[in-house]
Chains A and B, each alone.
Chain A
Amino acid sequence: MAEGENEVRWDGLCSRDSTTRETALENIRQTILRKTEYLRSLKETPHRPSDRISNSESSDGLNKLLAHLLMLSKRCPFKDVREKSEFILKSIQELGIRIPRPLGQGPSRFIPEKEILQVGSEDAQMHALFADSFAALGRLDNITLVMVFHPQYLESFLKTQHYLLQMDGPLPLHYRHYIGIMAAARHQCSYLVNLHVNDFLHVGGDPKWLNGLENAPQKLQNLGELNKVLAHRPWLITKEHIEGLLKAEEHSWSLAELVHAVVLLTHYHSLASFTFGCGISPEIHCDGGHTFRPPSVSNYCICDITNGNHSVDEMQVNSAENVSVSDSFFEVEALMEKMRQLQECRDEEEASQEEMASRFEIEKRESMFVFSSDDEEFTPARDVSRHFEDTSYGYKDFSRHGMHVPTFRVQDYCWEDHGYSLVNRLYPDVGQLIDEKFHIAYNLTYNTMAMHKDVDTSMLRRAIWNYIHCMFGIRYDDYDYGEINQLLDRSFKVYIKTVVCTPEKVTKRMYDSFWRQFKHSEKVHVNLLLIEARMQAELLYALRAITRYMT
């Protein structure tokens, strides 16, 4: 049996033309049938040792196909494909082959599946987004399904991501995915790593590189240091880092490539934050997203265990919730009351200059004590850890480390004036895209807070944004950091800090324990603010270093 005939081409399914999809599906069906036949014939004949290997290999291949089909049956925006894939699976099952079923509870472990939009019930705008996303990537990932709470943002996000990964740019395609893997691996985000390993191989990347950074070209290895610093302590980036990358003889980066890489790194660092912050489940077709075991065996999946987050945990939280419903009701009320007060008394009570300056310092210092109590060391899954070195290097509080790093003042180097111009100059159009994304994320509001309508949430959003920047040592001259203390309570700060700085430590308990009365869509909204603020903070430091290098 020729290998070429067994190659399954999924790309036909991404077409908007239903007949093309149908032919593609038909081809897939036939390939799968052929494979099953082949397997069955193997089983019937007595095994020779060499056969066994090829047997397990080809059954592996078949399982992959089936898993992909399962994903399609659940997550394809086109109805015909969903139905047909399910039909194929059923018919395979009738042939006596074990078929997979999805694990976990939908796209996110934190958000109940029923809260999340089901594929197929989206409105026209969302459908267009889904179709675009599917056409570009050949899948509809869980991130998209969670972000679709905010379609306006999602559109901008997908556009940017598509441009970064697939459109014109100085870096070759496989480099882009590899950089994505490097960035996600810094946070041990196996979800993103898995996705991009597939994409990396799909665009023709060398599988050897996946064995670890030391197998990748020297040029990418050089980027490792920047990746590390950028992910955990961006304030330490200096123009020497940049110089080191740009002047490395034959392995040197060009400025345009570097900007592209930096944008990719920051994008995936913050996306890793989102993945953990919203508890994104593994993709159905990836490892850990499906199982071939019959459903009765166990009712929780491996990933839940590894995150210290099994059903017992959930029950505790549920009971806690029941007790404190009235509590949390007051939580919202109190928050709104505080916002109102701040709005009113702002003009009356004027803090002195020293007072204002010290408030920033206080907030900065306090942010370092804000940490989840369970500080146990987390050991990353093996397959992820090989993508990055120096596992011990992590976030260290901006204000705790020994040497004095001057505060970054936004008024001297801000995204709108400086960062944008630099990015757009070196990597045309991306500046515009990211700028739009920042704008949408920062200005996104539905004027609601939990059950209240017509609330001006700008103050709250600004507090969250500035708090994140504060953790990175970025200061706004025109902001009173006392507001943060008023508006963000401790459990919320813990969540923010964990998501932004050490996303791999986020647990469902943290997610559940802040803003208990708020809707899931609002919590996702918070996450969008977090990741965009984080991305901007990292970008600002990196771009400032590049600017300094250039002058």
Chain B
Amino acid sequence: MEKMSRVTTALGGSVLTGRTMHCHLDAPANAISVCRDAAQVVVAGRSIFKIYAIEEEQFVEKLNLRVGRKPSLNLSCADVVWHQMDENLLATAATNGVVVTWNLGRPSRNKQDQLFTEHKRTVNKVCFHPTEAHVLLSGSQDGFMKCFDLRRKDSVSTFSGQSESVRDVQFSIRDYFTFASTFENGNVQLWDIRRPDRCERMFTAHNGPVFCCDWHPEDRGWLATGGRDKMVKVWDMTTHRAKEMHCVQTIASVARVKWRPECRHHLATCSMMVDHNIYVWDVRRPFVPAAMFEEHRDVTTGIAWRHPHDPSFLLSGSKDSSLCQHLFRDASQPVERANPEGLCYGLFGDLAFAAKESLVAAESGRKPYTGDRRHPIFFKRKLDPAEPFAGLASSALSVFETEPGGGAMRWFVDTAERYALAGRPLAELCDHNAKVARELGRNQVAQTWTMLRTIYCSPGLLPTANLSHSMGKGGSCGLQLMNSFNLKDMAPGLGSETRLDRSKGDARSDTVLLDSSATLITNEDNEETEGSDVPADYLLGDVEGEDDELYLLDPEHTHPEEPECVLLQEAFPLRHEIVDTPPGPEHLQDKADSPHVSGSEADVASLAPVDSSFSLLSVSHALYDSRLPPDFFSVLVRDMLHFYAEQGDVQMAVSVLIVLGERVRKDIDEQTQEHWYTSYIDLLQRFRLWNVSNEVVKLSTSRAVSCLNQASTTLHVNCSHCKRPMSSRGWVCDRCHRCASMCAVCHHVVKGLFVWCQGCSHGGHLQHIMKWLEGSSHCPAGCGHLCEYS
């Protein structure tokens, strides 16, 4: 390698030196393991099994353990482990399910020691006990874990994973009897080596197979697991339930995980597929790896820290047939390349902005943000002396908040309080709500209410005016006028048709300006055609900037002397075009080719009047077109409700739902309704609109919602004399046998509604107290308190 840096570490007498280097193996490696003396490493794979000495400048092949003429599957290793107490002892797991132990002390060329053929399927992992010389553990695809005593010919005990394949087994470093095993279904189990009948603890750690686990060398009970779901999780096993402490999200499935010695929060990972690099993570900083080794050209299959007390040497074997020693100081640090600037909008319009501290500090007068209820995007990290590169990428955060309590949600509260939801005929409710909405400047909503009234209030209720009206409105001054129009004449809608024909747009030059007198003309005009069921007049209600005028679009129709028959003939073929052509002047063209969509335009103030008048027109047209019953619109109304709810205006959705009641309820599935109700109620409660929320609950037809009112309605009271809870009845205490709640006015027991002053706690029958306080402002009990009744 080009980087020639050397590291020398003194570790209890022995000295580790070396550099970043690699050597070529003859075949892909599946696993590696380091000898206790940190000077040798064993590499195992399907067709390789060798020991290399780690020298200062290079790896030197020391021993080839693959002896014998015929290749045997027993030598095709899935895993290898070197005993940490005995330099001569190794164990391998073969792909055909055999566990082999090797004794380097044997004089012959063949170092194979023992053969355990108890597993039926591939053995995925072998593990020596950290302190016991003869105990070996294996985990296999067949769902069993076996514990071998090397002094005996067969296993001592078998642990069953309920036919789920075992991917990893690891003895705890701190607890003598404990080992952890991970499974293909995402579970992790803890076992006591003395109790093979059942596991001590089991929990689901990952989604999909857990490929690996590693106990923390120092922190008792910390277990890191890595899975196919691309996560590394750190669990605290000391508590009653395994607690997830950290979670690192990597970019590929995690094949191996190894804690870094001497660095409490660091661990190294490599992946199973796609990604060839080795990462070292600080688990507290799960998004950017602390260090990255990019030497390998194919997936890394084995990683091992060279010495249990040295954090700077990492060894790795790979499918690209190479063995590497990585030096921590040569690692690339993605943090350096990280962009510590960020910008984000909050839910409530706040703007958060993070930048390098140096940049922010240069700007005087602004203090770095110091935390509040929301999480900053980048943390200003506390400096940790144990961290070699703390603060490298720390950023300062500034948050710009919008003025709290600004008009933003004012309309919601007002609307909620002023809407009428029940108790009056539908038409009135709609009118009222439309009015409320209009006064709050929500023209689109207002228009919707008007439309609903148009749709659902049967024409029979009001005199059918077979008149066509066009409405124009520009500024707010026009609104009121328009309103009255709607209420009195427009609502029945039947028979009134407004022709919007863009093909006639060129005829604009001879349009006639309509003022109130012009409206009259149209009315007369219509009376002429009243007898036919094809009233045809071509009016467009529209707003042209500040003009606030109405245009008559059809040139023929503007001349009253035009014979009627012409109108009748022409009316029919023309009608089809209405549906397709976007109405009116050019600036509306891109809006809305259906009434629904037009209604869905955001109520931007300047466009709203135009918009809503249009949607009204379209609906009245549709009504006319086929004289359909209100049922015909239920789909439209349903879509409209969905639209409002989706836009976040669940208030509108629920209000309409309540007001229309049975008319639309059946079109919307129960769950959605319930969802809307609960969202709206939740919102209301957040704004402390308890009364409204209760009313909504009461009016709702969804069972799940209406029972909200019936839950936890009990009020527990204590006796006013003995201060004990009154259990059976609310007015007589069981203990002191005295009546607790006496009316201060009539001195009788109050059994129904009991009202009391929160200042002096005297009270009585609601009626009595009300009457009393009408005449006097003092407490009826004579305590002298000035009670208030509101």
Interface residues of chain A, those whose CB is within 8 Å of chain B, are 346, 350, 353-354, 356-357, 409, 411-412, 416-418, 420-422, 425, 432, 435, 477-478, 547, 550-551
Contacts and interface: CB of A to CB of B under 8 A. Distances in A.
A44 to B, nearest CB: 31
Interface of B: 28, 46, 70, 72-74, 76, 78, 94-97, 117, 119-122, 141, 184, 208-209, 211, 228, 252-253, 255, 272-274, 276, 297-299, 320
Contact of A550 (B211, B253, B274): B274
A420 B96 contact: no
A422 B73 contact: no
Contacts of B255: 417
A356 B96 contact: yes
Contacts of B122: 411, 477-478
Nearest to A420: B228
Contacts of B320: 551
Nearest to A352: B72
9 contacts: A353-B73, A356-B73, A411-B122, A412-B46, A420-B253, A435-B208, A477-B95, A478-B96, A478-B97
Most buried by A among B94, B209, B228, B299: B228
Given A416-B209, A551-B298, A478 B252 contact: no
B273 A418 contact: yes
A357 B73 CA distance: 8
Given A425-B252, A551-B297, A353 B121 contact: no
B272 A417 contact: yes
Contacts of B211: 417
A417 B252 CA distance: 11
Given A417-B273, A421-B273, A550-B274, A477 B252 contact: no
A435 B208 CA distance: 10
A357 B184 CA distance: 28
A418 B74 contact: no
Given A425-B273, A477-B122, A550-B274, A416 B184 contact: yes
A478 B120 contact: yes
Contacts, number: 70
Contacts of A353: 70, 72-74
B96 A422 contact: no
B367 to A, nearest CB: 43
A421 B97 contact: no
B26 to A, nearest CB: 16
A477 B273 contact: no
B274 A421 contact: yes
Nearest to A346: B120
A420 B28 CA distance: 21
Contacts of A346: 120
A435 B120 CA distance: 23
A420 B320 CA distance: 21
A422 B141 contact: no
Contacts of B121: 478
A412 B252 CA distance: 18
Contacts of A412: 28, 46
A409 B297 contact: no
B272 A421 contact: yes
Contacts of A350: 117
Contacts of A425: 252, 273-274
Contacts of A421: 228, 252-253, 272-274
Given A409-B95, A411-B95, A425-B252, 16 more contacts: A346-B120, A356-B73, A411-B122, A418-B272, A418-B273, A421-B273, A422-B274, A477-B96, A477-B97, A477-B122, A478-B95, A478-B96, A547-B273, A551-B276, A551-B297, A551-B299
Contact of B73 (A417, A477, A550, A551): A477
A550 B228 CA distance: 20
Contacts of A477: 73, 76, 94-97, 122
Nearest to A548: B298
Nearest to B253: A421
Contacts of A357: 73
A89 B273 CA distance: 58
B573 to A, nearest CB: 15
A527 B252 CA distance: 34
B101 to A, nearest CB: 18
A416 B121 CA distance: 15
Contacts of A354: 70
A14 to B, nearest CB: 17
A498 to B, nearest CB: 30
Nearest to A353: B72
B27 to A, nearest CB: 11
A357 B119 CA distance: 18
Nearest to B273: A421
Contacts of A420: 208, 228, 253
Nearest to B97: A478
**Nearest 8 CB-CB pairs, A to B?**
A477-B95, A421-B273, A411-B95, A353-B72, A478-B121, A477-B96, A478-B122, A478-B97
A273 B228 CA distance: 31
Contacts of A478: 95-97, 119-122, 141
A421 B141 CA distance: 19
A417 B226 CA distance: 13
A477 B121 CA distance: 8
B334 to A, nearest CB: 20
Contacts of B70: 353-354
B274 A411 contact: no
Nearest to A462: B121
A412 B97 CA distance: 15
Nearest to A350: B117
Contacts of A422: 273-274
A346 B97 CA distance: 13
B668 to A, nearest CB: 11
Contacts of B97: 477-478
Contacts of B117: 350
Contacts of B298: 551
A515 B70 CA distance: 40
A422 B298 CA distance: 14
Contacts of B28: 412
B160 to A, nearest CB: 15
Nearest to B274: A425
B239 to A, nearest CB: 31
A499 B407 CA distance: 71
Contacts of B252: 421, 425
A454 B297 CA distance: 51
A460 B122 CA distance: 19
A303 to B, nearest CB: 43
Contacts of A416: 184, 209, 228
B611 to A, nearest CB: 30
Contacts of B74: 353
A411 B273 contact: no
A335 to B, nearest CB: 20
A11 to B, nearest CB: 15
Contacts of B273: 417-418, 421-422, 425, 547
A411 B253 contact: no
A530 B255 CA distance: 30
A357 B70 CA distance: 11
A400 to B, nearest CB: 24
Contacts of B272: 417-418, 421
A213 B255 CA distance: 43
Contacts of B299: 551
A374 B72 CA distance: 41
A26 to B, nearest CB: 15
Nearest to A416: B209
Contacts of B276: 551
A120 B109 CA distance: 73
A411 B184 contact: no
Nearest to B271: A421
Nearest to A422: B273
A547 B28 CA distance: 15
A435 B229 CA distance: 13
A548 to B, nearest CB: 9
B142 to A, nearest CB: 8
A346 B276 CA distance: 40
